[in-house]
């Protein structure tokens, strides 16, 4: 198993397309960092009339933690595309190249082959996230320093500013990245499933991205009947769930409770649904791959 995984990772590492995602992430992160370094004006938009009532030391607001939150907020929505780029190619890419039939004449069960490919896709996803963490979090911490994290959000149509003290931030990022890895694994499983049916890699990649886009739109429709029926079952409703780790609970006097989360139950529920999706998608991928006649 391990040596198969090594082979799979080696193959991924030798493909130029693998690095597109890393370059894209580096590009976006560096641009956002440079922009904020040059002009922190965005903060004035965020703080708006807070300025009238309060004196806020803005220099401290834009810090490494805040930058990471900003970057994840804009970037994590796009990462599914990058994950699909590799996971959607896993089977179909080999079919397209003609290596699938050679691969499958080796004395290795198909479950193992697709399992290893899925594992390799997950490792790739985690590598993307680690890379992102290095740039968006640690590089930002170096460039912008560290301080408390302000989270701006809207809840029940009312806006809030949550302040998380800096000694309470790191574990939230760790949890958020783990959560993101699980959410993106759903995308990897979906792309892998679609990859089983195709004989070129463009199809599953485009199809995955389309499904993600369509489901995301449905997830954000805010039509009551959809909210009640479809939405809770769409994995895209949970892709931004990592933010839940930053929604700190607060007491009756609006003082945040250190180390707390406002709604762990909902995050747990999200995780459950994400895992269920992973199970269904990957299970289906194994099922169909085992049955597939290799004609490529």
Partner 1 sequence: MNLMLKVTNLSKKFKDTNAVTNLSFTVNQGDVYGFLGQNGAGKSTTLRMLLKLITPTNGTIEYFEKNIDHDKNEMLRQTGAIIERPDLYKYLSAYDNLRIFAKMSGIKASRTVIMQQLETAGLADRYQSKVKTFSQGMKQRLGIAIALIHEPKLVILDEPTNGLDPQGIADMRNMILRLSKEMGKTVIVSSHLLNEIEVVANRMIIIHKGKKVVEGNVKELLDPANTLLQIETTNDADALYKLEQSKWANFLENNGRYIRLRLNKNDIPSLASSLSNMDIGVLALQPRHSLEDYFLSLTNNDTHVEPFTN
Partner 2 sequence: MKKLLIVCLLLSTGFVQAQDINTLLNKAKAKIETVNDYEASAVMKTNVAFLKVPIAKVKIYFKKPNKLKLKSERGISFIPKGAVSLNLNNLTGSDKFKVIDAGTDNIKGIVVRVATLLPADKTGDVILSTVYIDEARSLILKAETTTRDNGTYALEMTYGTYAAFGLPDKLIFSFNAKDYKLPKGVTFDFDDGAAPNMPKEKDPEKRKKGKAELVFKSYTINKGVDDTIFLNK
Rule CB under 8 A: choose which of 38, 39, 41, 49 binds partner 2. 49
Q: Which of partner 2, partner 1, none does 56 bind, CB closer than 5 to 8 A by kind?
A: partner 2
Instruction: Decide: is 159 part of the binding site for partner 2 (CB under 8 A).
Output: yes
- Residue 261 has φ and ψ, to the nearest 5°, of -130, 145
| CA gap 22, 28 in Å, rounded | 10
- Given a contact cutoff of 8 angstroms between Cβ atoms, the answer to whether 32 and 71 are in contact is yes
Instruction: Decide: is 294 part of the binding site for partner 1 (CB under 8 A).
Output: yes
Residue whose CB is less far from partner 1, 12 or 29: 12
Q: Which of partner 1, partner 2, none does 103 bind, CB closer than 5 to 8 A by kind?
A: partner 1
Rule CB under 8 A: choose which of 3, 16, 38, 158 binds partner 2. 158
Rule CB under 8 A: choose which of 30, 59, 78, 101 binds partner 1. 101
Residue whose CB is less far from partner 2, 45 or 225: 45
Residue where the block lists tokens 């139950």 = 265
Q: Shortest CA distance to 18 belongs to which of 96, 100, 108, 93?
A: 93
Residue whose CB is less far from partner 1, 106 or 228: 106
Helix, strand or coil, per DSSP, at residue 200: coil
Residue whose CB is less far from partner 1, 102 or 130: 102
Separation of CA 161 from chain center: 24
- Given a contact cutoff of 8 angstroms between Cβ atoms, the answer to whether 270 and 240 are in contact is no
Residue where the block lists tokens 């590009």 = 27
| CA gap 82, 188 in Å, rounded | 10
Rule CB under 8 A: choose which of 98, 259, 279, 283 binds partner 1. 98
Instruction: Decide: is 107 part of the binding site for partner 1 (CB under 8 A).
Output: yes
DSSP H helices, 76-201, are 79-87, 92-97, 99-103, 110-132, 140-144, 170-197
User: How is residue 33 written in tokens?
Assistant: 């960092």
Site residues for partner 2 per CB under 8 A: 45-46, 48-50, 52-57, 60-61, 73, 77, 147-148, 150, 152-163, 165-166, 227, 232, 237, 240-244, 247-248, 250, 253-256, 258, 262-263, 265-267, 269
Site residues for partner 1 per CB under 8 A: 3-4, 7, 10-11, 14-16, 97-99, 101-109, 291, 293-295
């Amino acid at each position: 198993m391990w040596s198969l995984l090594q082979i799979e990772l080696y193959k991924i590492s030798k493909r130029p397309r693998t690095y597109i995602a890393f370059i894209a992430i580096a590009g976006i992160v560096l641009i956002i960092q440079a922009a904020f370094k040059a002009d922190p004006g965005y903060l004035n938009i965020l703080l708006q009339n807070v300025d009238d009532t309060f004196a806020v030391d803005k220099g401290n607001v834009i810090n490494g933690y805040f930058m990471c939150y900003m970057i994840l907020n804009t970037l994590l929505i796009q990462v599914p595309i990058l994950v699909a780029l590799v996971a959607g190619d896993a089977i179909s890419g080999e079919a397209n190249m003609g290596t699938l039939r050679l691969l499958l004449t080796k004395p290795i069960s198909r479950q193992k082959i697709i399992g290893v490919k899925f594992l390799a896709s997950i490792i790739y996803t985690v590598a993307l996230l680690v890379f992102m963490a290095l740039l968006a979090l640690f590089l930002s911490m170096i460039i912008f320093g560290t301080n408390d994290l302000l989270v701006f959000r809207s809840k029940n149509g009312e806006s809030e500013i949550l302040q998380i003290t800096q000694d309470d931030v790191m574990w939230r990022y760790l949890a958020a990245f783990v959560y993101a890895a699980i959410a993106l694994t759903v995308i990897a499983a979906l792309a892998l499933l679609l990859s089983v049916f195709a004989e070129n890699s463009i199809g599953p990649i485009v199809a995955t991205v389309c499904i993600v886009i369509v489901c995301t739109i449905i997830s954000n429709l805010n039509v009551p009947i959809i909210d009640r029926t479809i939405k809770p079952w769409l994995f895209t409703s949970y892709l931004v769930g990592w933010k839940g780790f930053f929604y700190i609970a607060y007491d009756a006097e609006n003082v945040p409770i250190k180390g707390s989360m406002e709604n762990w139950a909902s995050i747990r529920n999200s995780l459950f649904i994400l895992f269920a999706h992973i199970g269904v998608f990957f299970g289906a991928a194994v099922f169909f791959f085992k049955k597939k006649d290799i004609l490529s």
